[in-house]
Structure 1
Amino acid sequence: MAVIPATWDLYELLQAVVQAPTYHIVFEILLILWIIKLIFFSKSYALEKTVLTTKEKDELIEEWQPEPLVPDIPDTHPVLQALERNIITGRPDKYLNVNGRSCLNMATMNFLGMAGDQTIETEAIKCLRKYGVGSCGPRGFYGTMDVHLVLEDNLAKFMNCEEAILYSYGFATIASAIPAYSKRGDIIFCDEGVCFSIQKGLVASRSFIKFFKHNDMEHLERLLIEQQKEDKKNPKKAKVTRRFLVAEGLYIKHGDICPLPKLVELKWKYKVRIFLEESFSFGVLGKCGRGVTEHFDIPVDEIDLIAASLENSVGSTGGFCCGKKYVIDHQRLSGLGYCFSASLPPMLASAATQALTIMEANSAVLFTSLRENAEKIHDGLLQVEGMKLMGVPISPLKHLQLGEPGGDRDMDTRTLQKIVDEVQTLGVAMTLARYLEKEEHCLPQPSIRIAVSCKLTDTEIKNVIECTKKACQTVLNENSS
């Protein structure tokens, strides 16, 4: 109600009431009645209390069994056994020193041999002496140094994008980027074969997830058509719902490549945004290592967001996203891994910058050698009896599975581990593909993961193939006898 000055007399007050609009008077009367009801007629409902006797309390306490903070892990767990079995001395270069024995490294994803490059080490040491070990703060709070800006600028130019953003942890890159854009109520169409970091990003987004079969474009289009029909039923909701399509350039769990041309076609046909995770295709695919877009000769502007790790081909730590300026700027305020994590150690940013320089200067040699080595090993491993090879020929990631799985995952894993151990005695280091089995969305069959490097010689490739054949034959014959 309007405040009435004290100088007004009763006549002026009545006159003001008479002149007031009817709807205004009715509204104020209802408001006064509602306030009176709240003050004098509101009821408080007391919660019913259950009173337990001392005996009942003791029985409940005795029955209660608290869950352990950490679940019991058997001593026979393969990871714990591997920790005791494989002790690495020195850097993970072309050759590994495992338990005092030199082995050819086919286990770590040092595709371009950057982890052992002397010029990268020199740049990192020079930066270490200038900046120290770490930044000790997030990018927005005194964690941004000039080497970070230089690396972001170089990554953007290398990928032919407007801007790039740097994360300090490769896993957190795509896991932070997805929920920065996709929120509750949005829809994400995702390949069921994506890596674990993407899966965590999907969970964090709280969006509605629709998985399509791995690299099955017909299944994806059916899901998009179904969503299109649902949108027509509720156009008001559809107008405010964002739709995303998430895929990997090179799938770590399968060793194959996404059909990007078809994904781009579906993007424009059904109006979805594409997020591409290129941790294992960046520095691998394409004439100059720019990833799956260069491999298929698709303009990078067709992709809404590209994310990649610097922990594989580049041989450093962290990750980055690149794309349009307005897309990247949004992450500087909404990417949790960027806003709240300490920035990438300056010496590792300097190392990544040097690695990019090497990639640009030696692209013809590096990527041609990597593809040729991958194809040679692929052709050789296809001839291993009793085993099934997963992946495409040009992929430096290979998966060897049992040709005839036994139906018991633990038993198959133990068989593959015996093969890995046998290969190691012959001087080649390999590893089993590891997963968080209870949390993985689509758990693949147990496999031996093999990582190819561009530094391998023809003699070393032949040695890997022969040792693998011999180890598989020995172990499989023992199991059959």
Structure 2
Amino acid sequence: MATFAPAYHLILEVFGDSTVLFFYRPPSHRIIVNGKECINFASFNFLGLLDSERVKLKALSSLKKYGVGTCGPRGFYGTFDVHLELEERLAKFMRTEEAIIYSYGFATIASAIPAYSKRGDIVFVDEAACFSIQKGLQASRSFVKYFKHNDMEDLERLLKEQEIEDQKNPRKAKVIRRFIVVEGLYINTADLCPLPELVKLKYKYKVRIFLEESMSFGVLGEHGRGVTEHFGVNIDDIDLISANMENALASIGGFCCGRSFVIDHQRLSGQGYCFSASLPPMLASAAIEALNIMEEDPGVFRVLRDKCKHVHKALQGTPGLKVAGEPLAPALHLQLENSTGSRTNDLKLLRAIVDYSLERRIALTLARYLDKEERFLPPPSIRVVVTVEQTQEEIEKAAQCIREAAVKILK
């Protein structure tokens, strides 16, 4: 079962001379799977805004005003006022000079990396980096050096080696750009990056930091600004921040933010920005309204963090399974304590737990990967997604269901 993608489902039906718009409910707190209503622990709908009436009404109003889409890229005839408003609002929310929006979340960081890093440049990347980062690195044709996951000693070892190499040929070193690419909260491990240590290494070895925050934006920090706010790091110390709008903002697409001269560069060199049709105005309006809700009620982030901790604690001690990830992570991984030695068999066991839970109206999903494409293939796992809508009773019910399944299937 793949993760349920957040989207607004629209169908136009023609009855005689009339056209009727059906606005189908997106996957929210409760979903129908195989005819059964289930509690949703599978969709990345952290703040529960996919089912917000305010967001849906704003999207519908925008649809009536602008139509379905622009059918053109931003630089030609695809820019509407709501695109500019959303960029301005995102920059203000993140307290950066400027923001740029993309129409597809995956393409955001995958376009941003090759916009700056070219052939001959060097990128230091965490081994647990997500697939969109990997595709961006591939498109950049840069020289990539992977360091062990969240291991700052290993990263510094690579940086020192490069510093020694640069001293051998200072002229060549002068034209080489160097980047560190990390995630704020890793989707493949649910681990938090050690951002303060990364910033120290940035200034010590004169490299730039690109921070992918799709899992931490709208989650971490007092106001949901992400890992920089969580650690109290000056956002100006980060050269580029990117995130999708599909996890917390109840929309589609993604954005990058930072200093104006950095962001402006993408308007002519970000492939996903220059060559893709712009974000449908309806979805831009939905994202703006979601930002309004986030700003009006910052207490929602504390509620989410409390529920993340609750789920993390409730899943501890599940027989045969271990919880991977930070207590603050809204998407945890349940992995086998002892592998069978076969990835296929491990997946079968985890799939059986998912199916058992689904029969009892708890919707979970396996973490899916393109096995042959991943640079470092993560171990098989069940992904458990936390949202603000889940009640304490539902969390306990899900944890109990998973425990029962583990006892029965992994005995």
TM-score by length of 1: 0.80
* Match in the other structure for 1:377: 311
Q: Any conservation in 2 of the 1:90–1:97 contact (CA below 8 Å)?
A: no
Q: Any conservation in 1 of the 2:325–2:333 contact (CA below 8 Å)?
A: yes
* The one of 226, 230, 244 aligned to 2:161: 226
* Match in the other structure for 1:206: 141
Give, in angstroms, the shift of residue 91 of structure 1.
Answer: 2.4
Q: Any conservation in 1 of the 2:236–2:258 contact (CA below 8 Å)?
A: yes
Q: Secondary structure at the match of 2:119?
A: coil
Q: Any conservation in 2 of the 1:249–1:257 contact (CA below 8 Å)?
A: yes
* The one of 267, 274, 281 aligned to 1:339: 274
* Match in the other structure for 1:147: 82
Q: How does 1:251-270 map to 2 (within 5 A)?
A: 251-270=186-205
Q: Distance in 1 between the 2:333 and 2:71 partners?
A: 39
Aligned residue pair count: 391
* Match in the other structure for 2:408: 474
- Return the structure number with greater helix share: 1
**Runs of 4+ deviating beyond 6 Å:** none
* Match in the other structure for 1:20: none
Give, in angstroms, the shift of residue 169 of structure 1.
Answer: 0.3
Q: Secondary structure at the match of 2:373?
A: coil
* The one of 344, 351, 361 aligned to 1:410: 344
Output one character per residue of 1:29-74: Cα deviation in whole Å (capped at 9) or x when no partner.
xxxxxxxxxxxxxxxxxxxxxxxxxxxxxxxxxxxxxxxxxxxxxx
Amino acid of the structure 1 residue aligned with 2:73:
P
Amino acid of the structure 2 residue aligned with 1:368:
R
Amino acid of the structure 1 residue aligned with 2:103:
S
Q: Distance in 2 between the 1:381 and 1:202 partners?
A: 35
Amino acid of the structure 1 residue aligned with 2:147:
F
Give, in angstroms, the shift of residue 153 of structure 1.
Answer: 0.2
Q: Distance in 1 between the 2:302 and 2:395 partners?
A: 16
* The one of 110, 117, 129 aligned to 2:52: 117
* The one of 242, 261, 275 aligned to 2:210: 275
Give, in angstroms, the shift of residue 90 of structure 1.
Answer: 4.8
Greater relative contact order: 1 or 2 (C-alpha under 8 angstroms, separation 6 or more)? 2
Q: Any conservation in 2 of the 1:381–1:465 contact (CA below 8 Å)?
A: yes
Q: Secondary structure at the match of 2:223?
A: coil
* Match in the other structure for 1:308: 243
Q: Distance in 2 between the 1:471 and 1:277 partners?
A: 35
Q: Does 1:350 align with 2:285?
A: yes
Q: Any conservation in 1 of the 2:25–2:51 contact (CA below 8 Å)?
A: no
Deviates more, 1:355-364 or 1:468-477: 468-477
Q: Does 1:104 align with 2:35?
A: no
Q: Does 1:287 align with 2:222?
A: yes
Give, in angstroms, the shift of residue 471 of structure 1.
Answer: 1.3
Gaps of 5+ in 1: 1-77, 83-88
- Identity across matched positions, percent: 60
Amino acid of the structure 2 residue aligned with 1:111:
F
Amino acid of the structure 1 residue aligned with 2:284:
A
Q: Distance in 1 between the 2:31 and 2:407 partners?
A: 24
Q: Secondary structure at the match of 2:410?
A: helix
Q: Secondary structure at the match of 1:247?
A: strand
Q: Distance in 2 between the 1:329 and 1:90 partners?
A: 37
- Return the structure number with greater strand share: 2
Amino acid of the structure 1 residue aligned with 2:39:
L
Q: Secondary structure at the match of 1:311?
A: coil
Amino acid of the structure 2 residue aligned with 1:124:
A
Q: Any conservation in 2 of the 1:426–1:467 contact (CA below 8 Å)?
A: yes
Q: Distance in 2 between the 1:129 and 1:351 partners?
A: 13
Q: Any conservation in 2 of the 1:169–1:317 contact (CA below 8 Å)?
A: yes
Q: Distance in 2 between the 1:434 and 1:456 partners?
A: 23
The higher radius of gyration belongs to: 1
Q: Distance in 2 between the 1:203 and 1:257 partners?
A: 24
Q: Any conservation in 2 of the 1:282–1:308 contact (CA below 8 Å)?
A: yes
Output one character per residue of 1:70-123: Cα deviation in whole Å (capped at 9) or x when no partner.
xxxxxxxx87xx9xxxxxx95211011111101000001100001110100000
Q: Distance in 2 between the 1:407 and 1:445 partners?
A: 11
Q: Secondary structure at the match of 2:188?
A: coil
* Match in the other structure for 1:26: none
Q: Distance in 2 between the 1:463 and 1:325 partners?
A: 48
Give, in angstroms, the shift of residue 254 of structure 1.
Answer: 0.2
Q: Distance in 2 between the 1:414 and 1:340 partners?
A: 41
* Match in the other structure for 1:451: 385
Q: Distance in 1 between the 2:268 and 2:287 partners?
A: 24
Q: Secondary structure at the match of 1:470?
A: helix
Q: Any conservation in 2 of the 1:110–1:313 contact (CA below 8 Å)?
A: yes
Q: Any conservation in 2 of the 1:90–1:96 contact (CA below 8 Å)?
A: no
Q: Any conservation in 1 of the 2:99–2:257 contact (CA below 8 Å)?
A: yes
Give, in angstroms, the shift of residue 128 of structure 1.
Answer: 0.2
Q: Does 1:161 align with 2:93?
A: no
Give, in angstroms, the shift of residue 129 of structure 1.
Answer: 0.1
Gaps of 5+ in 2: 5-23
Give, in angstroms, the shift of residue 391 of structure 1.
Answer: 0.1
* Match in the other structure for 2:330: 396
Q: Distance in 1 between the 2:194 and 2:103 partners?
A: 29
